[in-house]
Chains A and B, each alone.
Chain A
Amino acid sequence: MNKRLLKSMQYCCCVLLALPMLVGAVATRFQDQGERTFTLVEHHKYQRMQYQDVVLSQFDTKMRDVNEGADRQLVQFLSALRKDDFDWWLTSWNQATLQDWQSKAALKKARRVYNFWRATFTKQSVAQLKDFILMGQYVLIGVQIDSEYHLLPFELENGRWRIDQAYMNAVFFQKLKERLTKEQLKVAQAG
């Protein structure tokens, strides 16, 4: 009996001793080579043209399905806000943005963005075009609405200029907007 007990104890000990090795077999398949870092530097070149005292005074009264340039599409975007026409306003955004809003229908994201713009551009607002910027496949239009500078990225989608929400979230876009906003502020202070 004692012999049997001794044997089973020995067996248990063997299993217990082997266990870390068995677990270790999976854990040590790879050897730690240490922490690494990777630095990615991206330079985005652009061409900038500044508008010469262009205060928008003529707005559209209804949606026009045309390609007359990114800045004219911005006029449509603002016109839809003036007319308080949500469906018309939606037509200025690209498909990816509309799909994103559709998937967040419960959050009413489209409506919330619309309401932001409705509050930004009222019937009394003054909109002055500032910058026309070519960057990659995008045209960025800088517009001063009252005292605030806005930058909107347009891309061609099926031959029409459409705003891309995802592009507005990119770090380089935010940095550029910040740079241009500061510049406008300086000009305003100097003036």
Chain B
Amino acid sequence: MRACVCLTYLWTILLSFSLMAENNFWATPTFAVGEASEGVISVEQVYHYQLFEPKKGYEKVRLVQRKYSSMASAEEAFISRMSAIASLDYQWWLDTWEIDSKHLALEYFASKGLNQSYWLDTWKKQFVGRKITFKQKIVLPQHIIIVYNVAGANGKPGPIDLPVVFSQQQQQWLVSLDLRREPLLRYSPWVNGEDRKVIVYE
């Protein structure tokens, strides 16, 4: 009998706890409301892109001097960008940015204390003398993304491939931050050949 009462008591506690937990929302209304119900809203977006890859999966980037550089194609603009970095030419690097994106980036870098000497130091440690390889080119209606890899100090490929986005302005391809909020860049499906992703936001 006592065991039965104990069990009933325990059950009541558990039930009331679960009800409390159910209604324990992080924000509550301050006017009278009815019971809470759960819903879901789903959005499906289909992205199209053209994928290009070097024949053997990668290709070494041949760096150039500034006087031989060009921004006429995304590939050449990328070579210029990497050459600027590898030759520690900060001004050249600045010149590879699209103007609005450059302002946005410099504003952000300034807020994080990432100044010229920080970049030169980073490039010296992570780029100078390293093998840089082209991995992929993704062509979108308004942008081209170049995916590249920087080898480690031991010459082996780096652990991650990185994207740089270019947009065309007056016949020049310049580094752009236009896609910084785009899910397509965030998920970079070309890296693993993904064609579908389902995400549930709780």
Interface residues of A (CB under 8 A from B): 26, 29-54, 68-72, 129, 132, 134-136, 139, 171-172, 175-176, 179
Distance in Å: Cβ of B149 to nearest Cβ of chain A: 15
Out of B30, B40, B48, B51, name the residue touching A43 (CB < 8 Å): B40
Contact across chains for B51 and A34 when beta carbons are under 8 A apart:
yes
Q: What residues on A are CB-neighbors of B195 within 8 Å? A: 36-39
Contact across chains for B36 and A48 when beta carbons are under 8 A apart:
yes
Q: What residues on B are CB-neighbors of A70 within 8 Å? A: 27
The 8 A CB mask of B163-191 against A (1 = contact, 0 = none) is: 00000000000000000000110010110
Which of B2-10, B52-60, B80-88 sits within the interface? B52-60
Q: How many residues of B contact A (CB 8 A)?
A: 52
Contact across chains for B39 and A45 when beta carbons are under 8 A apart:
yes
Assuming the contacts A33-B52, A47-B38, A176-B41, asked whether A136 and B73 have C-beta atoms less than 8 A apart, the reply is: no
Out of A36, A43, A50, A175, name the residue touching B33 (CB < 8 Å): A50
Q: Is the interface of A mostly helix, strand, loop or mixed?
A: strand
**B20 on the A face (CB < 8 A):** no
Out of B28, B38, B49, name the residue touching A35 (CB < 8 Å): B49
Give B134's nearest chain A residue, CB to CB.
A29
Out of A32, A47, A51, name the residue touching B25 (CB < 8 Å): A47
Out of A46, A53, A129, A136, name the residue touching B40 (CB < 8 Å): A46
Distance in Å: Cβ of A45 to nearest Cβ of chain B: 5
Distance in Å: Cβ of A23 to nearest Cβ of chain B: 11
Give B29's nearest chain A residue, CB to CB.
A132
